């Protein structure tokens, strides 16, 4: 893989800031003023702004205080237009590990993130922030889309054992020396971490860091017979945290699952585990005619199994009706404070029974605000296991 370093541009002959420095100063000023407006400090923002401008002029970048990092990460969650679970954005715990740049300690810190977030099943919202991009020194990267994902093993006939979404990253992990798991449909992938001055390397997650929930149906043992399970913590690791012009490409974060994320998407999508035909056959449904609504009936039973199993295991999980009501409460709180609430309707409305939820009957502005979590093309390519040029 070719790495393109972020060289610092030469300063103009006039001695003024470079265009990049001027842009960074503008974004930093907007963030610092937002921080001081919502969390006022003695003296106001001007003293801090002067420090930031001096630091940018001297180094081409600046370093957030721990208070700024915490506020920025929480507001990034508040601004996440695809997330329905933002009511508790202030509860996000922030681990400041910006001093870590090498792959191995980052992988160890990711495992610790999972342990702390799992919290014995009472899932805690948590973000771990590693070193940011800086002029001449790109930040570390985590290639996995989430810290926990299941492998997808390609067979010669084109079929995939496990999760087809992760087939590319599975291929890459195998090329990098991962021996593979026991070849089940739910083998946990290793982390693929790229340190600041290193190539991508693989690190297996310790078993005690990954809590998995066996999935059983409350009325029928079919799901138990099939060996279904899913991991407890949805820790996103393929998005870039952007605060005041500073980019943190390695900043894994998590809330907790909403049941439909697993039951109506991960296990049901035709390009994922595609379990609806199997569930329908077990229920004795007519799958030859869509007018029998076999997909709808199978989808409900699959989602019942997910909710039942997480409840039985004592693992935090929201259902889509409750989470929709919570999001409306979040909207009301933010509107009362005069703050916009960006939302992408196609993500906010649950993937089943959408019209029965309160969030369906509204329109939203899908604006992307900062601070925020950004989807970068290079991160999507890494999650597919592709070696690409650094942007």
Catalytic residues: 83, 86, 256, 261
The two structure tokens encoding residue 350: 């649950």
Which DSSP helix (H) or strand (E) runs through 167?
A: helix 167-175
Q: Which of 317, 297, 295 is nearest to 306 (CA)?
A: 317
Which DSSP helix (H) or strand (E) runs through 35?
A: helix 19-38
Q: Which of 63, 191, 80 is nearest to 133 (CA)?
A: 63
Give yes or no for a contact between 174 and 281, defined as CB atoms under 8 angstroms apart: no
Q: How is 332-386 classified by DSSP, letter by letter?
A: HHHHHTT------HHHHS-SSSGGGSGGGG--------SSEEE--HHHHHHHTT-
266-303 in b/e form (b: 16+ CB < 10 A) is bbbeeebbebbeebbebeebeeeeeeeebbeebbbbbb
Q: Which of 349, 377, 117 is nearest to 234 (CA)?
A: 117
Task: Tell me the C-alpha distance between 135 and 139, whole Å.
Answer: 10
Peptide bond into 359 cis (omega under 30): no
The two structure tokens encoding residue 278: 């199997």
- Angle at the Cα of 159 from the Cα atoms of 158 and 162, rounded to 5 degrees: 140
Give yes or no for a contact between 124 and 93, defined as CB atoms under 8 angstroms apart: yes
Q: Which of 327, 256, 249 is nearest to 6 (CA)?
A: 249
Beta bridge partners, 137, equal 134
Give yes or no for a contact between 383 and 330, defined as CB atoms under 8 angstroms apart: no
The two structure tokens encoding residue 71: 């506020």
**From residue 174, how far is each of 102, 201, 244 by CA, in Å?**
21, 11, 38
């Amino acid at each position: 893989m070719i790495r393109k370093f972020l060289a610092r541009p030469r300063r103009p002959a006039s001695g003024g800031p470079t265009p990049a420095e001027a842009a960074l100063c503008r974004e930093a000023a907007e963030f610092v003023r937002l921080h001081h407006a919502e969390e006022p400090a003695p003296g106001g923002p001007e003293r801090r702004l002067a420090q930031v401008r001096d630091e940018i002029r001297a180094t081409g970048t600046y370093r957030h205080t721990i208070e700024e990092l915490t506020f920025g990460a929480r507001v990034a969650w508040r601004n996440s237009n695809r997330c329905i679970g933002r009511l508790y954005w202030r509860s996000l715990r922030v681990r400041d590990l910006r001093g870590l740049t090498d792959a191995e300690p980052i992988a160890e810190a990711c495992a610790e993130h999972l342990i702390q977030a799992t919290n014995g099943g009472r899932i805690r919202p948590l973000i771990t922030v590693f070193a940011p991009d800086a002029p001449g020194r790109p930040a570390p990267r985590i290639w996995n889309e989430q810290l926990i994902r299941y492998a997808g093993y390609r067979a010669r006939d084109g079929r995939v054992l496990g999760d087809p979404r992760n087939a590319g990253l599975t291929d890459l992990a195998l090329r990098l020396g991962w021996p593979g798991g026991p070849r089940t449909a739910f083998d946990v992938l290793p982390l693929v971490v790229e340190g600041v001055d290193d190539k991508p390397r693989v690190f297996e997650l310790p078993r005690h860091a990954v809590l998995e929930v066996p999935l059983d149906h409350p009325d029928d043992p079919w799901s138990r017979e099939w060996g279904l399970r899913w991991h407890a913590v949805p820790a996103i690791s393929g998005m870039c945290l952007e605060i005041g012009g500073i980019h943190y490409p390695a900043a894994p974060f998590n809330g907790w699952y909403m049941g439909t994320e697993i039951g109506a998407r991960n296990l049901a999508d035709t390009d994922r585990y595609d379990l609806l035909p199997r569930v329908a056959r077990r229920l004795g449904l007519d799958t030859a005619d869509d007018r029998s609504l076999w997909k709808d009936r199978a989808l409900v039973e699959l989602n019942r199994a997910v909710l039942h199993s997480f409840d039985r295991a004592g693992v935090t999980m929201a259902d889509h009706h409750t989470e929709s009501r919570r999001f409306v409460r979040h909207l009301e709180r933010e509107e009362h404070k005069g703050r916009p609430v960006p939302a992408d309707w196609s993500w906010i409305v649950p993937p089943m029974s959408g019209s029965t939820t309160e969030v369906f009957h509204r329109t939203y502005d899908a604006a992307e605000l900062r601070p925020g979590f950004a989807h970068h093309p290079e991160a999507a390519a890494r999650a597919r296991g592709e070696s690409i040029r650094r942007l």
